Each structure stands twice: as structure tokens, then as C-alpha cells.
Structure 1
Amino acid sequence: MTATVSFTIDSPLGPRTATVAYERKGAGEPLLLLHGIGHHLQAWDPVAHVLASAHDVIAVDLPGFGASGPLPAGVPYDLATITPALGALCAALGVERPHVAGNSLGGLLALDMGRTGLARSVTALSPAGFWSEPERRYAFTTLRAMRAGARALPRPALDRLSRSGAGRAALTGTIYARPAHRTPEAVVAETLALREAAGFEQTLAAGGSVRFTHDVPGIPVTIAWGTRDRLLLRRQGVRAKHTVPGARLVRLPGCGHVPMNDDPALVARVILDTATAGDREGGSAGGGPHMSG
């Protein structure tokens, strides 16, 4: 069941209140799940039940996405604001330094949480921020086209397209390698989430200059990339490995940009392995050895 939580964030305008939607299930060490731009927390549904068998799983709608309200007027959607906001969110939920798994924008945020001491382990699935400038422009152009298509499509046409495998491929083939595996209901819901995302343009604007150039020392980090990622090409994973040399770089065969749907068992195993390593090492800054690969 989806719930909401409000918390105070620091911003260039001073303290402001943000409210986000989240779903929480399972028991064990906390595991925070962060979706990508234009998506929503239901992106994690294919793996959430497996993860919840071992963890207290908290899937959130980022501010301005899904069922979460936008940030207060004038508050930027940049890393300097969103990353500490996620720390404040965790505190409001009674969680300290969770394991964090994120996809795309969520992967970038997960890495930044690890860098700033807010995570005990990080699994980043096709994280943003390791692109060349032409690759960034291509990704942003593609995302804007997806958004424009979602906003222009009448609801009856969306419902009709979602009922066939070919229609689901037309709607979501950019982010999934196996779009026909998505249910019609899921495809409709995520298309509407993209259409209605209040934080979409501000997030893209803030991301135009983003390059993740920091190491993430002291905690286990896994960077995983789908071999069929059509949005952020997999060679960006090699750059990510050079930037975070202690990370384990994992190929996700046959997976697209949002791999949780394409191979739920593999993605769940990658996340659980990383979290287990974080628990084994204690997740303390400056702690045990990095995962290597």
C-alpha cells in the first residue's frame, strides 16, 4: 500500500517541506529503491517481493514523479538538493544509512548517497552521469520524445495499444528489451507517470551539466548495465568502472535500460549480493575492501 511522508529539506531558499509517496514491505536491513526519470516506484514491482524476503524494502516516488508532489517552487532538482533530501526522507522513516539500489537517475542518486555517507552499499543499474556530451544529448532527446509521445497520446489509444505485445513495444521498447513481458496495466500506468511527471523538465535541466566524477570509497558498490540498453549505452559502464575503480561491474545479458522487468531474478540477485557484502563489511566508511571485478 502506498503511503506518504513529509520532511524538511535544505534548499537555496532555506528550509522547505517535501512530501513523497513510498511503499514499504518486508523485514531486515533497510533497502531503499530509487527509480529513473519519468518513472515511478512500481518500476521495482518485478523484484520487490524477492528483495523483501531479506530486507525492509522502501520504494519511493522521487519528488515530482509518480504520486509524489513536486518540490516547492524555486527549489532545484539537482544533486546538491535531492541527495540530502533523500537522507532526510530516510531519517523521517526511521532509517539510517540503508542499502540503496537505483536505476538511471536513481542510480546516479544512489552513487551520490554512497559518496556522501548516506548508504551502506550501492547498486546502480545503468546510472546516469557517465555519458559523453553527444551521448547525453542523445539520451535527453530520446527522453523528451518519449515524454512528448506520452502527452500527445489520447487515453483510449493508450489503452488500446497496451493490449498487444506490439503496442507495448511501441510504448516502452526504448527502455525495455522485453516490453511484451509488461502487463497492459503496468504499461498504461508508467506511460501516465511519464505524462504527468511534474519534475521532468526541471530534472533534465539540472542534469545537463552532471558528470559523476567521484569515487565511492569504503562501501560495496555494484554498477550493472544491460547489454541491450538503448538509452544509456553500455560502454558508459566502462567509464563508471574507471571512475569508481573499486566497484564491481556486472553485465546484465539481454536486459534494457530498466532491467528489473527484463530479468527480475538476475537483478534481484545482483542487488542482494551487494547488500549482503555491505552487511558483512558493516557498511562503515573506510571499512572493508571494495568489491572488485
Structure 2
Amino acid sequence: MSATVSFPVPSPHGPRTVTLSYARVGDGEPLLLLHGIGHHRQAWDPVIHLLAGERDVVSVDLPGFGASPALPDGLRHDLPTMNAALGALCETLEIDRPHVAGNSLGGLLALEIGREKLARSVTALSPAGFWTEAERRYAFGVLQGMRAVARRTPLPLVERLSRTAAGRTVLTSTIYARPGRRSPESVVAETLALARATGFEETLRAGIGVRFADDIPDIPVTVAWGSKDRLLIPRQGVRAKQTVTRARLVRLPGCGHVPMNDDPALVARVLLDGSR
């Protein structure tokens, strides 16, 4: 069941109220799940039931994505603001230093939270921030193209395409290695989420100069990369390991950029191992 929560976040002009949509299920130590740019918390649905038996799982729509509204005036969709908002979310939900796992943008945010020592462990799936400038431009161009297609494609055509494996491949093969496994309903929902993401452009602009360049020596860190990631190419995982020197680098064979749907059992095992 989804819920919303509101809380104040500091800004240069005084506190601003941020509202986030989230879902919470399971028992055990807390595990916060963060999705990528243009996606929504339902990206984690294929693994939620595999995690909930051992973790108190909180999946959240980031500001301006999914069911969460964009940040109010006075707050930017940048890393410091996102970190402040997620820290305030945890405080409001009475979650003390959760395990944090994220994909793409969410992986970068998870690493940022870990660097600030606000997490018990970090698991980052194809995290942003380990690119060269050419790789960043390529990824941003692909994301902008996906956004344009999602916004211009009429909903009846999206629904029709989603009914066949070939159509789901047309719509989602950039981020999934096995798009035929995604349900038609999920493909329609995530296409709409990308088209309607009010925080997309500002979040993308804020990422232009982003590089993750710090080690995280004090907590367990796992970096996992799909072998068929077509958005953030797998060699970026080697750079992540060189930067976060004690991190465990895990390959996800046959998985794309959003691996949770390509191999739910493998991803759930990586997340649970990383949070032990």
C-alpha cells in the first residue's frame, strides 16, 4: 500500500515542505530503495516480495517522479537537496540509518548517503557518476530521446504495443535486457511515469557536472552492474571499484540497466548479501 508523507527541508529562503510517495512492507532491518531518473518506485516491484521476508522495505518515489510532486520553489533537484530530503524522510518515518540500495540515479544517491555515514550499508546497481564526459553525453542523449518518445506516443499506441513481447521490446529495450518479461501493465505505467516526470529536466541538468570521486571506507558497499547495460556501459563498474576501493563489485550476467526485472532472484540476493 502506498502512502505520502510531508516534512520540512531547509532552503536558502527558509524551510520548504516536501511531499514524497512511498510504500513500506516487510520486517527486519530497514532497507531504503531508490529508483533511477524518469522511473518510479514500482521499478522495484519484482524483488519486493523477495526482500520483505528479511527487511523492512521502504521504496520511495523521488521528488518529481512517480506519485511524488516536484520540489517546491526554493529547492533545486540536485544532490545536496535530494540527500536532505531523503534524510528528512527517514527521520519522519523513524528509520535510523537504513541499508540503502539504488539503481542509476538512485545508486548515486545511495552512495552519497553512505558517504555522509547515514546508511548501514550501500548497494548501488549501475550507479550514475562514474562516466567519462563522452559516456555522460551519450547517456543523457539516450534519456532525453526516451523521454521525447514517451511524451509523444499516444496512450492507446503504448497500450497496444505493451500487449506483445515485440512491442515491449520497442518501448523498454534500452533499460531491460529481457523486456518481454515485463508485464504489459508495468510497461504502460512506467512509460507514463517517464512522460509525466515533473522533475526530469531539472534533475538531468543538475547531473551534468556530477562525478562520484570519494571513497566510502566505513560501511559495506556493493556495486553491481548488468553485463548488458546499454545506458551506463559496464566498464564504469571498474571505475566505481577503483574509486570506492573496498567495495564489492558484482557482475549481473544477462541483465540490463534496470536489472530488477531481468533477474529478480539474483538482484534480491545481491541486495540481501550487501545489507548483511
TM-score bracket, shorter-length normalisation: over 0.9
Tell me, in whole angstroms, the C-alpha distance in 2 between the residues paired with 1:166 and 1:30.
38
1:11 Cα deviation from its structure 2 partner: 2.3
SS at match of 1:58: strand
> Deviation digits for residues 193-222 of structure 1, max 9, x if unmatched?
000000000000000000000111210000
Q: In the alignment, is residue 33 of structure 1 matched against residue 46 of structure 2?
A: no
2:56 aligns to what?
Answer: 56
Tell me, in whole angstroms, the C-alpha distance in 1 between the residues paired with 2:197 and 2:103.
17
Q: Give the TM-score normalised by the residue count of structure 2.
A: 0.99
1:74 Cα deviation from its structure 2 partner: 3.6
Tell me, in whole angstroms, the C-alpha distance in 1 between the residues paired with 2:13 and 2:103.
29
Farther off after superposition, 208-217 or 73-82: 73-82
1:120 aligns to what?
Answer: 120
SS at match of 2:275: helix
Q: In the alignment, is residue 151 of structure 1 matched against residue 155 of structure 2?
A: no
Tell me, in whole angstroms, the C-alpha distance in 2 between the residues paired with 1:29 and 1:256.
28
1:246 aligns to what?
Answer: 246
1:89 aligns to what?
Answer: 89
1:179 aligns to what?
Answer: 179
1:202 aligns to what?
Answer: 202
Contact 1:98 1:118 (C-alpha < 8 Å) held by counterparts:
yes
Q: Which runs of 5+ in 1 are unaligned?
A: 277-293
SS at match of 1:224: strand
SS at match of 1:124: strand
Tell me, in whole angstroms, the C-alpha distance in 2 between the residues paired with 1:172 and 1:4.
28
What's the C-alpha RMSD, in Å, of the aligned pairs?
A: 0.6
> Deviation digits for residues 31-57 of structure 1, max 9, x if unmatched?
000000000000000000111010100
Tell me, in whole angstroms, the C-alpha distance in 2 between the residues paired with 1:14 and 1:171.
42
Tell me, in whole angstroms, the C-alpha distance in 2 between the residues paired with 1:75 and 1:180.
39
Moved over 6 A (4+): none
1:7 Cα deviation from its structure 2 partner: 1.0
Q: In the alignment, is residue 105 of structure 1 matched against residue 119 of structure 2?
A: no
1:117 Cα deviation from its structure 2 partner: 1.2
Letter in 2 for 1:242: Q
1:14 Cα deviation from its structure 2 partner: 2.5
Tell me, in whole angstroms, the C-alpha distance in 2 between the residues paired with 1:3 and 1:133.
38
> Deviation digits for residues 105-129 of structure 1, max 9, x if unmatched?
0000000000001111000000000
Tell me, in whole angstroms, the C-alpha distance in 2 between the residues paired with 1:6 and 1:49.
26
Letter in 2 for 1:67: A
SS at match of 1:250: strand
Tell me, in whole angstroms, the C-alpha distance in 2 between the residues paired with 1:266 and 1:174.
20
Letter in 1 for 2:27: A
2:228 aligns to what?
Answer: 228
Contact 1:10 1:85 (C-alpha < 8 Å) held by counterparts:
no
1:73 Cα deviation from its structure 2 partner: 2.0
2:5 aligns to what?
Answer: 5
SS at match of 2:168: helix
Letter in 1 for 2:157: A
SS at match of 2:13: coil
1:14 aligns to what?
Answer: 14
Q: Which runs of 5+ in 2 are unaligned?
A: none
SS at match of 2:123: strand
1:191 aligns to what?
Answer: 191
Tell me, in whole angstroms, the C-alpha distance in 1 between the residues paired with 2:79 and 2:12.
13
Tell me, in whole angstroms, the C-alpha distance in 2 between the residues paired with 1:96 and 1:208.
32
Letter in 2 for 1:241: K
1:282 aligns to what?
Answer: none
Contact 1:124 1:222 (C-alpha < 8 Å) held by counterparts:
yes
Q: Give the TM-score normalised by the residue count of structure 1.
A: 0.93
Letter in 2 for 1:88: A
1:189 Cα deviation from its structure 2 partner: 0.2
Letter in 1 for 2:194: L
1:12 Cα deviation from its structure 2 partner: 3.0
Contact 1:47 1:268 (C-alpha < 8 Å) held by counterparts:
yes
Contact 2:46 2:261 (C-alpha < 8 Å) held by counterparts:
yes
1:76 aligns to what?
Answer: 76
Tell me, in whole angstroms, the C-alpha distance in 2 between the residues paired with 1:102 and 1:203.
16
Letter in 2 for 1:46: P
SS at match of 2:112: helix
